Amino acid sequence: MFKRKFLPLKSFSFSLFLLFTFSLFVAACANPSTGGDGAVEAVESYIQALADKNADQMIAASCAAWEESAQLELDAFVGVQTRVENMACTVTGTEGAYTLVTCAGEIVATYGAEDRDFPLDTAPFQVLEEGGEWRVCGR
């Protein structure tokens, strides 16, 4: 009835090679090098250091140009208890040399008996690679 035609082994191997190559190309295009996990980790470290009032860790997570601004952010929470709640950060794009990281959640500051929420999603964090490390460089 019907005769099956099989591809010759040589043609089949070449087809597999093309499929594999195409798969690698698609995977590379789907995950542009925007810092990904490193950028997200830098932002999460920065936020946690801010809530913990750990100036050294916060400065270590900041680029050189942002260190003074990081210290000002830290100064805003002196004298109050703070904690991070529901933090979830993701890379949302790029802007020039910066990788943009947007976070959900908030820093909760306790003033006496009253909690005040400071949402993390007000602006994306600008992150870049400096000295071989991902660092927060603005908002």
Query: Is residue 88 a part of any domain in this protein?
Result: yes
Q: Is the pLDDT of residue 32 over 70?
A: no
pLDDT in tens, 33-87: 445 799 999 999 999 999 999 999 999 999 999 999 999 999 999 999 999 999 9
Q: How many domains does the chain have?
A: 1
Cα 112 off chain centre by: 33
Query: Is residue 22 a part of any domain in this protein?
Result: no
Q: If you average pLDDT over residues 131-137, what whole number do you get?
A: 96
Query: Is residue 76 a part of any domain in this protein?
Result: yes
Query: Is residue 12 a part of any domain in this protein?
Result: no
What does the pLDDT read at residue 26?
31
Whichever domain contains 77, its CATH number is: 3.10.450.100
What does the pLDDT read at residue 8?
56
The count of other CB atoms within 10 Å of the CB of residue 6 is: 7
- Which residues, 6 or more positions from 94, have their beta carbon under 8 angstroms from its beta carbon? 34, 100
- pLDDT band at residue 23 under the 50/70/90 scheme: very low
Query: Is residue 56 a part of any domain in this protein?
Result: yes
Domain housing 76: 36-136
